[in-house]
Amino acid sequence: MHNLTLNPMMNVGTYIHFLDYYHYQRAKTLYFASYEDVFCEAFLAFRIAFLFSSELFLPASTYVESPLARDILQRHRLLQDIGFLRVVAAEWNFPEHIEVKRTIYTRKRSPKHLVDAYRNLPAGPVPRYQRKTKASVEVIRKAWIGELSSGDIRQRLDPDRRLVLPSSFEKVWASIPEKLASDDLAFVTPHVKSLVEQEIGRPVPPRLFEPTIEVAYVDSYIRDLDLQLIMDLYLLGSPFESQFRLVRQLSYRGIAGSLAALDLFECVRSMTDHQLLQFKWRSEWRRLAARIIRQDYMLSANDAKLAALLRRNASFQGPPGLLAGRVWYTRTVLGRLGMSIHIFVSHSEKDKIIAKALVGLLEAALVLPEGAVRCTSLDGYRISIGQPTAMELQQNLRDAKVVVALLSERSLVSSWVMFELGAAWGLGRTIMPILCGITPDKLAGPIRENHAANGLNLHEIIQFVQDLQRYIGNARSNTPRIAAAASELVETIKAALV
C-alpha cells in the first residue's frame, strides 16, 4: 500500500458532522432546501473528506437516525467494506449503543422518526465501531452550565434586548439539564426549546441554544478522537463554525475551487466508489493533494499536467442517482466561491420603485464592492441567469451582514418576503425594517420586536443610515449626497402610497 505521508493532515481522520439529521432539518427549514439539493452537497463533501484524510468517523446516532447518511453510505459501500469508515459512540459496542437509544426513544414525547429509526436499523453490516471515552451529553451539560459562569447570560444571548427574556431566565437555564435527565430526553435543541418555552410561557428562537449545544457536541468528537473537520459547506455547514475549537480543518470551498481550477471537479463527482479508491492512491493525486490541502492556489503548469494525466486514466460511469442531470450544480458551487453579500433587501416585487431608491441610498452611504447588495427586482442586483433562485437566496441570506426589510401592505402578503425574514431571524441576522406606509401594529411574529424606521420620516431614515454604517463599516463621508438620497427615498415612499 502506498504511503500517504506527503502532508500530515492526510494521515488524520475526519469527523463527518454534516450528515447529521439536524443539519438536514436546518437546511430544509432555514434555507428551503430540497432533499436533492442537500444530497448533492453531502455527496461531494463526503468524497472530499475521503480524499483528504486517512479515515472517516461518523456518530453512531447519525448512522441510525439520518436518511441522508444512509443514502450517502449506500453509494460508497466499498469504502465501508474496506474499513475506511467508523461509527463512534460512548458505549462499549454498537449493540449496547442501540439498546441505550431504544430505552430513551420509547417515551411518549420522543419524535416518531427516532423511535422508528431504532426499531428499523439500516440493512447490512455495521461499519467498524470506535468507542470514545466521554459521552457527548456530559460534554454538552458541562458547557451548558459553564455559560452561567460567564456573566449575564441574558445580555450575551440577547444583547439588543429584542426577545425581552424574563429575569428568571438564568434559573430556567440552570434547570434544563436536570429536567432533560428526569424525562429521559436527549440534550438536543428541539427538546431544550420546548422546555424553555414551557417555563417562560413564550416562543424563543433556537439560535439561543444551538451554539452551546452544537459546539460542545462537535468538540466531544474532534477532541476525544483527535479529528479534523470539513468546514464552510453551503447548506450543511454549521453557522457556529467560528466557535469550534479546531486544531485542523479542511476547507470545502477552498478544495472545491482548486479542483475546479485543475478541471477535476466533475472527475471527483462522477467516479464510482471503486474508481475513487484507485484515484486516492495514484501518485499524481497524492502530489496534487499535498498542494491543494495547503491551499496553495498558485497551481503550476506541472500541476495541470498531473491533473490531465489523472483525467485520462479515469473512466466515468456518470453521477449516481440524485446527481444525474444536475448540470447547474457544478456552476452553482463554483460560482459561489468567494461570494460575499453584505446587504440583502427583502421586499415585494410591487415595491420595486421603493427598492430602487433604497439601493441608491445604500450606494450613497457606503463603499461597497461589486455584488455586495442583493435586490432581486433591480438590474445589476438580481440573481445571475441560470442560477436556481431558492438556493441562491438561501446562501445570500446566510452571507448577509444585514437584512433590510421594506415592509408595506404589499410585502406583508408576499410569501417570499415572509420566508426571507423567517430565515434571517432563524440565522440571527440583523434585520432593519423600514415601514412603508404601515404602522408597527400591522407586524406579526418576531419582526414586531425589531425597532423599525418610519419611511415617511426623514430623520428616522437618516438614523437608519447611521446605524447601517455602524453595522457594515466602510461609510462614505459625502453628507449632502447621503441627505439627498435619503430624501429621495422618503419622497418615493410617499408617492407610492398615493
| Separation CA 41–CA 46 (nearest Å) | 9
SS3 readout for 226-273: CCEEEECCCCCCCCCHHHCCCCCEEEHHHHHHHHHHCCCHHHHHHCCH
Which of 57-61, 78-82, 397-401, 472-476 ranks highest by mean pLDDT?
57-61
In this structure, which amino acid lies at residue 379? D
The 10s digit of each residue's pLDDT in 69-107 is: 999 998 898 998 889 999 999 999 999 999 988 887 766
- What span, in angstroms and rounded, lies between the C-alpha atoms of 378 and 391? 19
pLDDT at residue number 339: 46
Sheet arrangement for strand 373-374: 373-374, 343-346, 402-407, 430-435, 453-454
| Mean pLDDT score, 425-451 | 83
Candidates 92, 81, 90; CA nearest to 128 is 81
Among 82-91, 291-300, 447-456, the minimum mean pLDDT is found in 291-300
Q: Which set of grid coordinates corresponds to residue 368? A: 461597497
Q: What is the mean pLDDT of residues 339-366?
A: 88
What's the grid cell of residue 440?
408597527
**pLDDT tier for residue 335 given thresholds of 50, 70 and 90:** very low
pLDDT the model gives residue 166: 84
Classify 339-497 by CATH class. Answer: alpha beta
pLDDT in tens, 213-234: 999 999 889 888 999 999 889 8
Give 253-294 pLDDT, tens digit per residue.
888 888 877 778 878 888 888 888 888 888 888 888 887 876
Q: Which residue has the higher pLDDT, 489 or 387?
A: 489
- The grid cell for 348 is 415585494
**CATH 3.40.50 residue ranges in the chain?**
339-497
- Across all residues in the chain, what is the average pLDDT? 82
Which residues, 6 or more positions from 242, have their beta carbon under 8 angstroms from its beta carbon?
none
pTM for this prediction: 0.64
Residue type, 291: R
Reduced DSSP (H G I as helix, E B as strand, rest coil) percent helix, strand, coil of the chain, to 5: 55, 10, 35
The top-scoring range by mean pLDDT among 88-92, 371-375, 379-383, 414-418 is 88-92
In this prediction, residue 476 carries a pLDDT of 77
Range 371-379 average pLDDT = 86
The distance between the two most distant Cα atoms of the chain, rounded to a whole number of Å, is 77
